[in-house]
Structure 1
Amino acid sequence: MSGIALIITFIIAIAIMIVAISKWNVNPFLALMGVSLVLAIVVGIPLKDIPTTIGSGFSGIFSSIGIVIILGALIGTILEKTGAALKLAEMVVRLVGQKRPQLAMEIMGWVVSIPVFCDSGFVILDPIRKALRKKTQFSSVAMTVALSAGLYTSHVFIPPTPGPIAAAGTLGIGDNLFMVIVLGAVVSIPSLIIAYFYANYIGKRVRSAEDETQDLDGQDYDSLLKSFGKLPNGFLALAPILIPILCMALGSLAAALGWTGNVAALSKFIGSPIIALTVGLLFGVILLMHSGKIRDFNSMTTDTMKVVGPILFITAAGGVLGKVIASAGFVGYMNEHAAALSMVGIFFPFLISAILKSAQGSSTVAITTTAGIMGSFLEGGSMMAALGLSTPLAAVLTVMAIGAGAMTVSHANDSYFWVVTNFGGMKPEDGYKTQTMVTLLMGIASMIFIWILSLFLL
């Protein structure tokens, strides 16, 4: 099969996968594997080669990023269970002040969601939101939207959240997570800015149950902090996140400055994502010991593996789909039409990710699946190569574009939509005016910014 028939087959395969996940409630792993197998047969990959293609696509993901995803998620669990996430939130409030509670909630969410899933992060921080709202009498809706937006932004853009880690590994830049972290922080800026202004805007037009009742029985901010007991100190709370970033920065600095000898070897070793996150985990263990919860480490690890397992398998299944696409001749056809595709460029992964996000609800599934479709920038037969995204910087921008698409949009099929609306005391119809609309604005603003960056950097 070749030519336009190949492209039509690809589109039909993606459509079937989306319907299977969103309408037929097929597990994303099974949907991806099933579509990959059928697609491989339909496009004419020799039957004897299909098992090898599937196996290499699946195992390649585990060998490149599996351990990194597990370590990052485990650090997030430790921060959540020890109260370190709350300590980070309290530090943000002290830094920003209580006169701008919506800004404090947004930055608080952005920081906490770097290692912690946004759903869990919202549940952890919601008592602080309510306490600050009671103390400041600020709009509950504005603070809810700001918190949701801050959490969501780092959830899709910044490792060690599993989605961005998985995308970086699949696209061939798993060894340069520091660059992904830095650019993720930069790309977060327009998302946070537009969300801040929209939160203030919609907070004056939509009222939640908290706004109507004034929530007179809730704890105030100071009493809430006391109720959690002794929180970890600032360094111990921040170290499991900050130390790995500094380690990766050291590795990048050694490469940039051309260091040689034992110093270079040691810097590269410490700066590799697996070792850097292992160091972060060691600081997490110290945090557990300081908090008197070291006995819970085994159960925390078990719980984390239960959460991370599905993500790893879905990511690996996305790698299988990408391998089938690379082996089927799609890229050759696209290379023949490179002039037309160059006009799409960095917008292609954004559109695929946005379609997947809106159709099936999960940002992580949208990120990992889109990354699998794109393939590695190092492989000449990948979609990345066909779109001319064949440099490390182009791969990092592609991770960002995929993340922006995975924001767009959060609605009724997204568990996070219900977390935000229910904990925020809003009706479902208000959720569309707040959560859905702010994620649409954030995704579009982020993508425009990414496109502008690509004009200067690529």
Structure 2
Amino acid sequence: MNVSFLQVMVFLLAGITVIILLTAKFRVHAFFALMIACFITGLGVSMGMTNVITVIKDGFGNIMRSLGFIIVLGTALGILLEHTGSTKVMAGYILKKVGERNAALALSITGFIVGLPVFCDSGYIVLSGLNKSLSKKTGASIVVTSVSLATGLLAVHCLLPPHPGAAAAAGTIGADIGKLISYGIIIAVPAMVVGHLWARYAGNKIEYAIIEEDEIPEDKTAHPSVIKAFLPVIVPILLIAAASFFNEFALTNDWIKNWFVLGDPVVALSAGILLAFNAKKKWNKKTVSLLLQESAEKAGGILVIIGAGGAFGAVLAATKIGDHFSAAFTLNTLGILFPFLLTFILKTAQGSSTVAIITAASIVQPLLPALGLNTEAGKLIAVLAMGAGSMMISHANDAYFWVITKFSGIEMKAMLRVYSTATIFMGLVTLLMVYILSLFIL
């Protein structure tokens, strides 16, 4: 297969345009949009139908092998935390520690912690009732508290596995998931902080009253203790971080190696699920069955998108796009800016952080040598840079934007002014932190 750089670029852009149009304008499921893009790009560069199908199957299968268990287990952990009331217990504990005067900060921190295993849209829906009640009780602006909660959730959603975008990018690029979680948490903290600070600055300038709604009766089900609520989140993170630490320093003790198989993300998340079950005293078969079924079904929808993203990446790799770009441009001068800007453009154009980072990872992977990022540390930096790009700009084509709008009762003008602008600052600050990190590890 001998094609020109122009031909590759034309059909690469055609594939990306199809993804954006189908997902953003026609609301086609991302799986089908990505699959159609695979065929448009593959056939456009003269790969041949049989070859395209083979490459798609290989790409889909490879990404499932590396991420399938992580996504399913992470989804199950999030659903169990919601069901047992652990998320509300964590929120209540954090509020108690920071005080009601700092309700917005408490919600930001709560969003950050709850968002580690829980997807941002689900987390916001679960905590929206607490958000409104705190705003009413403390007199804090609903715009400030809502955007603080939303940005806390978004910071970890874009940067950390088991969230689908970061997990898929790590699988495609070949970044170490343990190190991604360890460094990603550190990088996500400034993003959370800047989101909260902007919410306070801009939100307090907007006069906005809470829309009165019928009171929802309080759930009288006994909630778990603070320790039981936090353990399913903290233990997996500590296990994964510890395993990364021992791998980093190449400790060769066989006893340590045997024990720190516990730090494998699959094992660590499984431990989190067992601890989440322990957060509730009594379970019945029907409830457990329904929760696990919901977990599998929700994870299935995510996995097909990730698999299609892996397939698209495999098609792009087969076109030898990296060699073409390397010959045409001096990409090593761009470094982390290229994955950041590419993901930012895709996110802004079509709305989904997950689709943006999956698509970007497929394009960036064959370009890693040309970008000077084809090392273990470089791959990690590339994924974090794409995570930064996938934060911005969240606006009217983003489903999460409308989740916040609907469940907080904030009008669109205020959302654009406060939340959408916050995502710009979050992305830029995160990029700065990734650059600083790169100075130490590259």
**TM-score w.r.t. length of structure 1:** 0.90
- Contact between 2:7 and 2:45, CA under 8 Å: does it hold in 1? no
Contact persistence 2:23–2:33 (CA under 8 A): yes
**Is the 1:103–1:196 Cα contact (8 Å) retained in structure 2?**
yes
Structure 1 residue 48 displacement after superposition: 4.2
Once the two structures are superposed, the pairs formed by residues 439-454 of structure 1 within 5 Å of their partners are 439-454=423-438
Amino acid of the residue matched to residue 380 of structure 2? V
Residue deviations 1:218-239 (CA, integer Å, cap 9, x gap): 69xxxx9x75442101222122
The answer to whether the 8 A contact 2:172-2:313 is kept is no
Is it true that 1:241 corresponds to 2:233 in the alignment? Answer: yes
1:319 maps to which residue? 310
CA–CA distance in structure 2, aligned partners of residues 262 and 456 of structure 1:
30
1:193 alignment partner in structure 2: 193
Contact conserved, 1:77 with 1:116, CA < 8 A, in 2? yes
Amino acid at match of 1:12: A
User: Equivalent residue for 2:319?
Assistant: 328
Matches within 5 A, 1:105-254: 105-173=107-175, 176-210=176-210, 227-254=219-246
CA displacement at 1:114 relative to structure 2: 1.0
Cα deviations by residue, 1:239-268 (Å, 9 ceiling, x for unpaired): 222221222233223323433353143134
- Whether the 8 Å contact between 2:142 and 2:208 is mirrored in structure 1 is yes
User: Contact conserved, 2:195 with 2:425, CA < 8 A, in 1?
Assistant: yes
Pairing partner for 2:373 from 389, 404, 417: 389
SS in 2 for 1:412: coil
**TM alignment of 1:299-448, pairs within 5 A:** 299-337=290-328, 340-375=330-365, 382-448=366-432
> 1:285 Cα deviation (Å)?
2.5
**Shift in CA distance, 305/216, structure 1 to aligned 2, threshold 3 Å:** closer
Give the Cα separation in 2 of the matches to 1:50 and 1:433: 44
Structure 1, residues 326-368: CA drift from partner, whole Å, max 9, x if none? 1112111122245x21222212222222222222222222222
Q: CA RMSD in A?
A: 2.2
- 1:203/1:50 CA distance change after superposition, 3 Å: closer
**Is the 1:140–1:207 Cα contact (8 Å) retained in structure 2?**
no
Which amino acid counterpart does residue 354 of structure 1 have in structure 2?
F
Shift of residue 73, structure 1, vs aligned partner = 0.8
Closer, same or farther: CA 97–341 of 1 in aligned 2, 3 Å: same
**Whole-angstrom CA distance in 2 between matches of 1:207 and 1:387:** 47
State the AA in 1 paired with 2:301: P
1:278 aligns with 270
C-alpha distance 337-388 of structure 1, shift in aligned 2 (>3 A)? farther
- From the superposition, tell whether residues 271 and 438 of structure 1 become closer, same or farther in structure 2 (CA, over 3 Å): same
CA 228–383 in structure 1, closer or farther in 2 if over 3 Å, else same: farther
Partner residue of 1:263 out of 255, 262, 271 = 255
Residue 33 of structure 1 aligns to a residue whose secondary structure is helix
Q: Partners of 2:302 and 2:57 in 1: how far apart?
A: 18
Counterpart residue type for residue 356 of structure 1: L
SS in 2 for 1:408: coil
Judge conservation of contact 1:354–1:409 (CA < 8 Å) in 2.
yes
Alignment identity in percent?
34
**Distance in structure 2 (CA, Å) of the matches to 1:327 and 1:38:** 14
Q: What secondary structure does 2:324 align onto?
A: helix
* 2:369 aligned partner, one-letter code: A
Q: CA deviation at 1:388?
A: 1.9
Structure 2: how far apart are the matches of 1:297 and 1:160? 22
Which of 54, 69, 74 is equivalent to 1:67?
69
Distance in structure 2 (CA, Å) of the matches to 1:266 and 1:258: 14
What is the CA deviation profile of residues 287-344 of structure 1, one whole-angstrom value per residue up to 9, with x for unaligned ones?
Answer: 34x2546641211111122222121111111111111111112111122245x21222
SS of residue matched to 1:164? helix
CA contact (8 A) 2:164 2:306 kept: no
Instruction: Give the CA deviation at 1:386.
Output: 2.9
CA distance, structure 2, for counterparts of residue 291 and residue 93 of structure 1? 28
- After superposition, the C-alpha distances for 1:188-239 in whole angstroms (9 at most, x for unaligned) are 13212221221111222213331xx7x69969xxxx9x75442101222122
The 5 Å alignment of 1:23-102 reads 23-102=25-104
- 1:29-81 superposed Cα distances (whole Å, 9 cap, x missing partner): 11111111121122122544323211111100111111111001100000001
> Which sections of structure 1, spanning at least 5 residues, go unmatched?
376-381
Letter in 1 for 2:181: I
Equivalent position amino acid for 1:116 in 2: V
Paired residue total: 440
Q: Distance in 1 between matches of 2:45 and 2:232?
A: 47
Residue 379 (structure 1) aligns with = none
Shift in alpha-carbon separation, 1:280–1:78, aligned structure 2, 3 A: same
* 1:296 paired residue number: 287
Q: Given the superposition, is the C-alpha separation of residues 249 and 446 from structure 1 closer, same or farther in structure 2, using an over 3 Å criterion?
A: closer
Question: What SS does structure 1 have at the residue aligned with 2:111?
Answer: helix
In the alignment, structure 2 segments of 5+ residues that lack a partner are: none
In structure 2, the CA distance between the partners of 1:269 and 1:127, relative to structure 1 (3 Å rule), is same
